[in-house]
């Protein structure tokens, strides 16, 4: 059975002739039925919604062309896999709880938070965190494809954005914008065209109008490029910086447990040698070790492999050359 608050809103929309409320409520009903695997009913509701929308503005909810606007990912990373600041973890856990207990919040006329802005240098877990939130919420993750969204003709980009948002409104999902500065640029930038400014305005309006069951997560390596109006759209603004020594040490403790063999170097020693690298680079270092271990079998020696890898990485990243254990 549909949520009582949605049925009440539907009656209110019909009684007041509020087409905007009507569309939002039906979109929420469609998402609700899809989450219950009631796809036939959800499709019929979507068809009714299309028929109730003037043909000039009718959203192409099931158009295959929509798939050109994003990559659909089945998330499989969990928050427990991540090594992130405690404040960031707590904020994400709270948002997840709000989404899981949204019916209680709705009964008090409150909405769960659904907009997150992630900042920080590349390779430190912004995309992985977005995927982990989708895993915790048990919803698909849609990563926006800018090559499919950004058009060369006047008005084309804003139109495509509108079509994409029309589709995701009917889904329980995480909508992820990586490198958000590519589309959310400061409108006061004198080097940007009027078209980009219109796109930013359209984008912000669409984000404002998304229902709370769509979690919008944006990530940027260059927060200084974002339009000032972007910042206030997001209830959570979280920063993911390069890992500190204690985080790298924890990573190597988990890595040693994963490979099931002593590394020959203490995790603390390795953390001191690799300080300054991003999590992505540290993960690549670990994969480098594993590859050499497999290729050198059966005479593999982890300590020797790590020592040799450290020498190579020292030259590449100018790391510490001290070989103490």
User: Are 166 and 216 in the same domain?
Assistant: yes
User: Are 40 and 176 in the same domain?
Assistant: no
User: Are 250 and 229 in the same domain?
Assistant: no
86-96: average pLDDT: 96
Residue 59 reports pLDDT greater than 60: no
Residue 193 reports pLDDT greater than 70: no
Q: Range with the lowest mean pLDDT among 133-142, 153-162, 222-231, 291-300?
A: 153-162
Tokens of 59: 């959203």
Residues of the chain with pLDDT > 90, as a percent, come to 52
Q: Give the tens place of pLDDT for each residue, 94-147.
A: 999 999 999 899 999 999 999 999 999 999 999 999 999 999 999 999 999 988
User: Are 235 and 119 in the same domain?
Assistant: yes
The reply to whether 180 falls in a domain is yes
Confidence of residue 18 (pLDDT cuts 50, 70, 90): low
User: Are 231 and 204 in the same domain?
Assistant: yes
The reply to whether 61 falls in a domain is no
Q: Give the tens place of pLDDT for each residue, 38-50.
A: 766 777 777 777 6
Residue finishing a domain among 198, 222, 239:
239
User: Are 175 and 294 in the same domain?
Assistant: no
What CATH number has the domain bearing residue 127? 3.40.50.300
User: Are 3 and 134 in the same domain?
Assistant: no
What residue numbers bound the domain in which 12 lies? 1-52
User: Are 90 and 168 in the same domain?
Assistant: yes
**Number of domains into which the chain is organized:** 3
User: Are 38 and 164 in the same domain?
Assistant: no
The reply to whether 33 falls in a domain is yes
Residue finishing a domain among 205, 239, 273:
239
User: Are 175 and 277 in the same domain?
Assistant: no
Confidence of residue 63 (pLDDT cuts 50, 70, 90): low
User: Are 231 and 88 in the same domain?
Assistant: yes
The reply to whether 232 falls in a domain is yes
14-36: average pLDDT: 73
- Among 5-9, 166-170, 180-184, 212-216, the range of highest mean pLDDT: 212-216
Residue finishing a domain among 199, 222, 239:
239
CA atoms within 13 A on the CB side of 242: 10
Residue 58 reports pLDDT greater than 60: no
């Amino acid at each position: 059975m549909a949520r009582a608050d949605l049925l009440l809103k539907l009656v209110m929309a019909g009684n007041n002739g509020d087409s905007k409320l009507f569309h939002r409520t039906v979109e929420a009903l469609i998402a609700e039925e899809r989450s219950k695997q009631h796809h036939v009913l959800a499709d019929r509701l979507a068809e009714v919604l299309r028929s109730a929308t003037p043909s000039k503005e009718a959203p192409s909810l099931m158009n295959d062309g929509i798939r050109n606007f994003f990559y659909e990912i089945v998330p499989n990373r969990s928050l427990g896999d991540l090594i992130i600041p405690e404040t960031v973890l707590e904020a994400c856990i709270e948002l997840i709880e709000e989404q899981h207990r949204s019916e209680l919040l709705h009964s008090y006329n409150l909405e769960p938070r659904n907009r997150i802005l992630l900042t920080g240098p590349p390779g430190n877990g912004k995309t992985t965190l977005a995927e982990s939130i989708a895993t915790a919420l048990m919803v698909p993750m849609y990563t926006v494809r800018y090559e499919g969204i950004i058009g060369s003709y006047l008005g084309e980009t804003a139109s495509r954005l509108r079509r994409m948002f029309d589709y995701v409104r009917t889904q329980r999902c995480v909508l992820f914008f990586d490198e958000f500065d590519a589309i959310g640029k400061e409108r006061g930038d004198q080097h940007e065209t009027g078209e980009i400014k219109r796109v930013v305005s359209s984008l912000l309006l669409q984000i404002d109008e998304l229902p709370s069951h769509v979690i919008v997560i944006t990530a940027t390596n260059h927060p200084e490029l974002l339009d000032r109006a972007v910042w206030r759209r997001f209830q959570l603004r979280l920063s993911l910086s390069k890992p500190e020594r204690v985080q790298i040490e924890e990573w190597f403790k988990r890595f040693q447990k994963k490979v099931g063999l002593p590394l020959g170097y203490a995790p603390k020693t390795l953390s001191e040698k690799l300080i300054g690298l991003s999590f992505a680079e540290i993960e690549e270092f670990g994969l480098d070790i594993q590859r050499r271990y497999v290729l050198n079998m059966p005479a593999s020696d982890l300590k020797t492999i790590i020592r040799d890898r450290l020498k190579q990485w020292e030259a590449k990243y100018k790391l510490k050359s001290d070989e103490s254990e």
